[in-house]
């Protein structure tokens, strides 16, 4: 566990432990473009974004930020930041176009070039195997509610590890399976846009199973020194009041929002209260003998994605729009009809998400207590704001700097309180295709003109480079 000088901050600011991993993160469909080049086939997000009314403004990821062709320029931006790590995802339909069978060499060659460029720049590649871009052919066969998809994922994991495992030492199976399962199959505001509550629960289980099978496939190929991990968007939950009813609302959301992944992966079990809460939806008979043991494959660290806390109370009310500008049915299977979401007070980002760094500290302390011995990395944290280039092309974004500073201070405080946090990755390197919001929301340290694709580092990029160089926060 990293150690930290917990004496009061001086003019030097807040120093982080030696070896702390400073990085930034992206996802394939959000930045790569080249959607039909060199054998890449459609993913569920290609299909979804081309469906009228699904994405704001009719935007698609066909071009995105054209990272596929501008990769060298983007690696140079990372080098200027001075990051130690870069977390990116591999596009499944780029390297295995049908979701089965042999790999497509051009796709693997792109990621080989990317990894080589990162290593030449002294940057550790952190590969995420799945950031929501399931090959459409697998969705046509049933998608994540189908057990076969978990088996196909393990095959895909082995292919990518076989191609990159000699150069990549840090691997993540899934990014935010909660979003993929419940926004994709329950509320339908994300790809593939299905509104089937039982299918969402099946998908969640098969993500857990696929994580276990994929971890086994990775470890069969990778050197013993390689890291294998999972990234979750865990919900930092607060009751509106300390009443028993509001505490039960927290329990319900915790079951379907957090423990549906934490319990199988880290304890080899399903939450009993989740099974009771969802009894009217499914009998969970799709969970077979051995599945939970397979899901509980040990990880070397847990990735934590955090943006804002969630306040809940007993009762019913409008669902928060989570994941897109258009509301769909509730993603909270088993909790809908019992829980009311309450807007948190305080300033808000362009996503209308509250700015509350205390929620990140609360979440890290919870994980410290519930998962002793499991190192943590903040794999996504950041904020969207509506800043634009000013005179001379300079992009001032003091709100983003304030957000990042506050959340890094919360991470520092959690480390001082005994949480084993090993690194922090800003979301995101670049403005990008922000899923159902299209190109309307900007999270990047680097501004992207989506007409010319010109990259312009914001003030926050220079601020973050300074944080990295000094190994901590300025006073």
The residues carrying an active-site annotation are 176, 380
Q: In Å, how far are 30, 77, 195, 196, 324 from 54, measured between CA atoms?
A: 16, 32, 14, 17, 9
Integer Cα distance of 73 and 285 in angstroms: 50
Nearest Cα to Cα of residue 305 among 225, 386, 213, 232:
232
Integer Cα distance of 363 and 236 in angstroms: 6
Q: In Å, how far are 192, 241, 253, 286 from 334, measured between CA atoms?
A: 21, 21, 9, 17
Nearest Cα to Cα of residue 432 among 70, 168, 23:
70
Strands (E) in 53-151, as ranges, are 85-89, 124-130
**Contact criterion met (CB below 8 Å) for 221 and 158:** yes
Integer Cα distance of 415 and 305 in angstroms: 17
Strand partners, 391: none
The per-residue b/e assignment along 62-87, b for 16 or more CB within 10 angstroms, e otherwise, is ebbbbbbebbeebbebbbebebebbb
Show Cβ contacts of residue 21 under 8 Å, excluding neighbours closer than 6 positions.
Answer: 84, 85, 124, 377, 422, 423, 424, 425
Integer Cα distance of 107 and 66 in angstroms: 15
Task: Give the SS3 label for residue 84.
Answer: coil
**Contact criterion met (CB below 8 Å) for 436 and 45:** no
44, two tokens: 């569920």
The per-residue b/e assignment along 113-127, b for 16 or more CB within 10 angstroms, e otherwise, is ebbebbeeeebbbbb
**Contact criterion met (CB below 8 Å) for 328 and 403:** no
Show Cβ contacts of residue 340 under 8 Å, excluding neighbours closer than 6 positions.
Answer: 249, 312, 313, 314, 315, 316, 317
Place of tokens 């140079």: 76
For residue 7, how many other CB atoms are within 10 A of its CB? Answer: 7
């Amino acid at each position: 566990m990293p150690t930290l000088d917990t004496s009061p901050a001086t003019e030097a600011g807040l120093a982080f432990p030696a070896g702390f991993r400073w990085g930034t993160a992206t996802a394939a469909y959000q930045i790569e473009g080249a959607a039909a080049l060199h054998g890449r086939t459609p993913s569920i997000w290609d299909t979804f974004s081309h469906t009228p009314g699904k994405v704001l403004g009719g935007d698609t990821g066909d071009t995105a930020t054209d990272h596929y062709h501008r990769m060298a320029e983007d690696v140079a931006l990372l080098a200027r930041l001075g990051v130690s790590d870069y977390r990116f995802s591999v596009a499944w339909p780029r390297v295995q176009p049908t979701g089965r069978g042999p790999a497509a060499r051009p796709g693997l060659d792109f990621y080989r070039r990317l990894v080589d460029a990162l290593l030449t720049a002294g940057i550790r590649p952190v590969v995420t195997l799945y950031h929501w871009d399931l090959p459409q052919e697998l969705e046509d066969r049933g998608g994540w509610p189908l057990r076969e998809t978990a088996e196909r994922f393990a095959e895909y994991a082995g292919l990518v590890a076989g191609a990159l495992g000699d150069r990549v030492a840090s691997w993540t199976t899934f990014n935010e399976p909660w979003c993929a399962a419940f926004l994709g199959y329950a509320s339908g505001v994300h790809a593939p846009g299905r509104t089937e509550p039982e299918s969402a629960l099946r998908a969640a289980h098969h993500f857990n199973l696929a994580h276990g099978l994929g971890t086994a496939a990775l470890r069969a190929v990778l050197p013993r020194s390689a890291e294998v991990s999972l990234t979750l968007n865990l919900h930092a939950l607060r009751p509106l009041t300390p009443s028993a009813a509001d505490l039960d609302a927290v329990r319900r959301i915790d079951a379907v929002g957090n423990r549906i992944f934490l319990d199988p992966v880290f304890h080899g079990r399903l939450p009993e209260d989740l099974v009771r809460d969802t009894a009217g939806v499914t009998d969970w008979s799709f969970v077979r003998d051995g599945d939970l043991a397979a899901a509980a494959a040990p990880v070397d660290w847990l990735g934590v994605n955090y943006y804002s806390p969630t306040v809940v109370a007993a009762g019913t009310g409008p669902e928060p729009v989570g994941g897109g500008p258009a509301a769909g049915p509730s993603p909270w299977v088993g909790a809908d009809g019992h829980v009311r979401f309450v807007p948190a007070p305080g300033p808000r980002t362009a996503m209308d998400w509250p700015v509350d760094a205390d929620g990140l500290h609360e979440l890290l302390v919870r994980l410290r207590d519930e998962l002793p011995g499991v190192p943590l990395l903040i794999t996504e944290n950041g904020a969207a704001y509506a800043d634009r280039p000013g005179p001379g092309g300079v992009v001032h974004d003091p709100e983003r700097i304030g957000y990042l500073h506050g959340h890094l201070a919360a991470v520092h405080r959690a480390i001082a309180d005994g949480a084993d946090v090993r690194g922090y990755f800003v979301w995101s390197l670049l403005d990008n295709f922000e899923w159902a919001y299209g190109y309307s929301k900007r999270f990047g340290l680097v501004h992207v003109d989506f007409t010319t694709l010109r990259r312009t580092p914001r003030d926050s990029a220079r601020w973050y480079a300074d944080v990295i160089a000094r190994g901590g926060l300025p006073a």
